[in-house]
Structure 1
Amino acid sequence: MSVVDQIQSINKELENTQAKLIAVSKTKPNELIIEAYEHGHRAFGENKVQELVDKASELPKDIEWHMIGHLQRNKVKYIAPFVHLIHGVDTIKLLKEINKEGRKNNRTIPCLLQVHIAEESTKFGFSEDEIEEFLKSGQLGEFEHVVIVGLMGMATNTSNESQVKKEFAGLKSFYETIKTKYSHPQFDLKEISMGMSGDYRIAVKEGSTIVRIGSTIFGARNYAK
């Protein structure tokens, strides 16, 4: 199947659900992104800042660029002028940097807080307790140039579907808890980003509003220089 066929197939699956598709185009050439763009797809995800900046400069300006990878503080300045959503905010220090660059660019930058839901220690993210502590602390008032619009989580890389289901269900439950418990102008939960090529169907059933799908659409990643 072509890139366009794959996107159309996944979008058909997502009909009558709350989830929308981010096509993860990392390591893929601009030609494939343009192919999808010309058939109406606008939301693309990248995990490397330099690749994201290069593509954003070369491709149509109405593309919604999602930063889905681990983001280093010293690289926030490069994407702050245009990024649509930062999925992986995993420390308060990073949030402060995003706020600083948002101020410089006269923007309020939408962010998701990444929650560590997997059993793998290699995954990044806050614990639920750390997020609650932050929300209770009143620090959010210092962040006028960010808005936290939701949560993101990555399940354990396992074939055990019941474990993946449990992790996604746990994140959705936490999302619902803090959504009703805390109110602040910079805290407006609408999105829960969970689910990739291998587990997005489970994620959608558990309430995901954003699925990040790359290899199913574009084929295996190409890391060759």
Structure 2
Amino acid sequence: MSIQSNLQHIKSTLPSNVTLVAVSKTKPVSDLMEAYEAGQRIFGENKIQEMTEKWELMPKDIQWHMIGHVQTNKVKYMAEYVNLIHGVDSLKLLQEIDKQAQKHNRVIDCLLQIYIAEEETKFGLDENELQELISSEAFKQMKNIKVIGLMGMATFTDNQDQIKKEFTHLKAIFEKVKPLSTFNFQLSTLSMGMSGDYHLAIACGSTMVRIGSSIFGIR
């Protein structure tokens, strides 16, 4: 199957309220352009340098999502153009995004990463840390970031019941904090689900899925 037919197949299965992020990390620009020609406009990268190189080469109506773990010292390299930063898991990182966005006179959208998996390797905030962050004075003072949603990654397992439990847990947290809306905290996006589990994620309330191998093939 070609990238174009893979994309068409996946999009035909997605509800209209679900955004597809094509995970294009490590893929050449020619593959991304094939997806672009097929109508895809949102691409997810996990390395800022690689994303910046692609941004420079590719059409400017593309939305670039940073989906990898972000180091604070790298934020400045993408602040000019990034549309959404997925894995924000600390106040320190938010402050750096706010600072760099201000330099470019922009407001950068962010998703706060919530730790829902049973593996120790995943990044993210727990529910208490989330509450502490959004109620802090430091957060309330940030004018160049906007938290538009939450994201989380399920445990890497074949146990569908466990994955469902984790997705349902994240959806419950989302609904709990959504009413705490302020000018820089307005939740509309719940990002969960990848190539292997996005159907289950959507059933549990996901509005954004990140799909790579099912579009571009196995890395």
User: TM-score over 0.5 for the alignment?
Assistant: yes
1:6 CA displacement: 0.8
For 1:60, the equivalent position in structure 2 comes to 59
For 2:193, the equivalent position in structure 1 comes to 195
- Does 2:5 correspond to 1:5? yes
Equivalent position amino acid for 2:77 in 1: Y
- Does 2:211 correspond to 1:213? yes
1:137 CA displacement: 2.6
1:139 CA displacement: 2.9
Q: TM-score, normalised by structure 2?
A: 0.98
Helix, strand or coil: the match of 2:164? helix
Q: d(CA) in 2 for partners of 1:50 and 1:115? A: 25
What is the number of equivalent residue pairs in this alignment?
219
1:140 CA displacement: 2.2
Paired residues for 1:164-183 under 5 Å: 164-180=163-179, 182-183=180-181
1:39 CA displacement: 1.7
- Does 2:123 correspond to 1:132? no
Paired residues for 1:97-136 under 5 Å: 97-136=96-135
Gaps of 5+ in 2: none
Helix, strand or coil: the match of 1:183? coil
For 1:26, the equivalent position in structure 2 comes to 25
1:94 CA displacement: 0.4
Gaps of 5+ in 1: none
For 2:15, the equivalent position in structure 1 comes to 15
Equivalent position amino acid for 1:206 in 2: C
Q: d(CA) in 1 for partners of 2:198 and 2:19? A: 11
For 1:92, the equivalent position in structure 2 comes to 91
Write out per-residue CA displacement over residues 53-106 of structure 1, whole angstroms, 9 at most, x where no aligned residue: 000001111111000000100000011100010000011110000000011010
Q: d(CA) in 2 for partners of 1:10 and 1:127? A: 32
1:25 CA displacement: 0.4
Residue 145 of structure 2 contacts residue 184 of structure 2 at CA under 8 Å; is this kept in 1? yes
Q: d(CA) in 2 for partners of 1:115 and 1:15? A: 24
Residue 20 of structure 2 contacts residue 211 of structure 2 at CA under 8 Å; is this kept in 1? yes
1:213 CA displacement: 0.3
Q: d(CA) in 2 for partners of 1:134 and 1:149? A: 15
Q: TM-score, normalised by structure 1?
A: 0.95
For 1:77, the equivalent position in structure 2 comes to 76
Write out per-residue CA displacement over residues 28-60 of structure 1, whole angstroms, 9 at most, x where no aligned residue: 011111111112110110001111000000111
Helix, strand or coil: the match of 2:178? helix
Residue 21 of structure 2 contacts residue 42 of structure 2 at CA under 8 Å; is this kept in 1? yes
